[in-house]
Amino acid sequence: MDASELDYDLPEELIAQAPLPERSGARLMCVQRHGAAIQHRTIEQLPELLRGALLVVNDTKVIPARLYLHKPTGGRIEFLLVERLAAADGGEHWLALGRTRKGVHAGMQLASADQLLRAHVLELRGAGEVVLELRAAQGDVASAIERVGSLPLPPYIRRTPDASDLTRYQTVFAKEAGAVAAPTAGLHLSEPLIERLLAAGNELAYVTLHVGPGTFAPLRAANLRDHTMHAEQFVIPEQTAEAIARAKREGRPVLAVGTTVMRTLESNAAPGGVRAGAGKTAIFIYPPYEFRVVDALLTNFHLPRSTLLALVMAFAGETTARNAYAQAVAERYRFFSYGDAMLIRSEP
C-alpha cells in the first residue's frame, strides 16, 4: 500500500483544540465493516448500541513528560520523556527526545529552573534521541517529574495546556503511569457512561500500553512496508486474557477501545484469544491484515498519512474508511484527540 492512499483533505477548523464540556458529549459515527451503512449517533447512545460486548480499555496514564531543562550558562533545552529505561543508584535512566538550536551533547549537565530535577546526558542515539540520567534534589524522580514537567499535548493542539487538560487528557481509568499521549478513544468514557454500559450487559477489561511519540510520527516511507514503528511497552493481565477467551467461547464481540488496545491484543494473539504477559510491540497494522482477536473498534478520527489511519483502513475496509472520512468532513465532525469518535463493527 502506498502512503499517498492515506491522504485526505481536512479543513484545519475541524481539528478539535479543546475538550467538550462533557466527557461523553461527542458525536459517534457508526460504520459497518466492509459495508456502506453509516449512522450518525452520539457517545451517550453506546449502551443502546452494545449488548454483551467485552470492552477492552487501556489504563495507561499520561505523565508530564515535557521537560524544560537549563544549562549552567542559562540556555534552555526542551525534552520529551519517552521511556523509563532503568533505575540508577538513586536516579533513573530515561530515553528522551531533545530539541535545541545548538544541539545536545554527551556529558551535558542540566537542571530544572527550580533545581528540583537534575539531568546528565549519557548518550546520543540519533534522530534526536538521548539517554538522560535524572536525579531529584529531594524525594524520588517520579515526584520531581510530576512537579516540574508539563503535559505533552499533541502538536496539532496549538495552545499551551490549561487546568482542564490535567483531567480531560486522562481517561477515568488511567492508573499505570508511563504514556506521553492519551489513548484518546478512552477519553469519551465517563464513569456514569461506563455504569450504563455494564448495566446493559457489557463487560470491561484492561490492558496497558504506554503510548509513545511514535503515535504522531508521520509516514516518511512511500510504501507502508518500509515504515518502522516505534516499540511501546504493554501488559496484558491474566484476568483480561481469560475474559477475552470467555467472550470468544460465548460468541460475544471483543471491542477494542482505541487503536492502542487493538495493537496490544493483535500483537499477542493466540488460539482462542490472547496470551497474557508483558513485553514490547512494534506491530504495524495496514491493509491487508487478518484480525485474529478484535471484532469491533471504537476510535477517534486520525491524521492523514498516519499509521493509525492505515489500521482503520485495514479493519473497516479501504473503501469503507475513505467514505466514512469523507462523510465526517462533510458533516463537520471534530477530528483527532479531543474530537468525535467512530464505532466500527460488522453490524449495520
* pLDDT one-digit tens code per residue, 133-172: 999 999 899 999 999 999 999 989 999 999 899 999 999 9
CATH 2.40.10.240, the chain: domain bounds: 66-148
DSSP letter for 208, please: E
Report the pLDDT value the prediction gives residue 247, as an integer from 0 to 100. 98
Return the C-alpha cell found at 289.
491484515
Residues 230-289 pLDDT 10s: 889 999 999 999 999 999 999 999 999 999 999 999 999 999 999 999 999 999 999 999
Residue 23 backbone dihedrals phi, psi, to 5 degrees: -60, -40
Q: How many CA atoms lie within 13 A of 187 on its CB side?
A: 30
**Exposed/middle/buried for 254, CB within 10 Å: 0-12, 13-18, 19+?**
buried
Answer yes or no: is pLDDT of 196 > 90: yes
Report the pLDDT value the prediction gives residue 98, as an integer from 0 to 100. 86
Report the pLDDT value the prediction gives residue 87, as an integer from 0 to 100. 85
CATH 3.40.1780.10, the chain: domain bounds: 3-62+165-345
Domain 3-62+165-345, CATH 3.10.20.310 — does that match? Answer: no
Answer yes or no: is pLDDT of 193 > 60: yes
Domain 66-148, CATH 2.40.10.240 — does that match? Answer: yes
Residue 90 pLDDT level (bands cut at 50, 70, 90): confident
Report the pLDDT value the prediction gives residue 219, as an integer from 0 to 100. 82
Over range 7-29, report the average pLDDT.
97
CA distance 299 to 188: 10
Report the pLDDT value the prediction gives residue 102, as an integer from 0 to 100. 67
**103 versus 219: which is more confidently predicted?**
219
Report the pLDDT value the prediction gives residue 7, as an integer from 0 to 100. 94
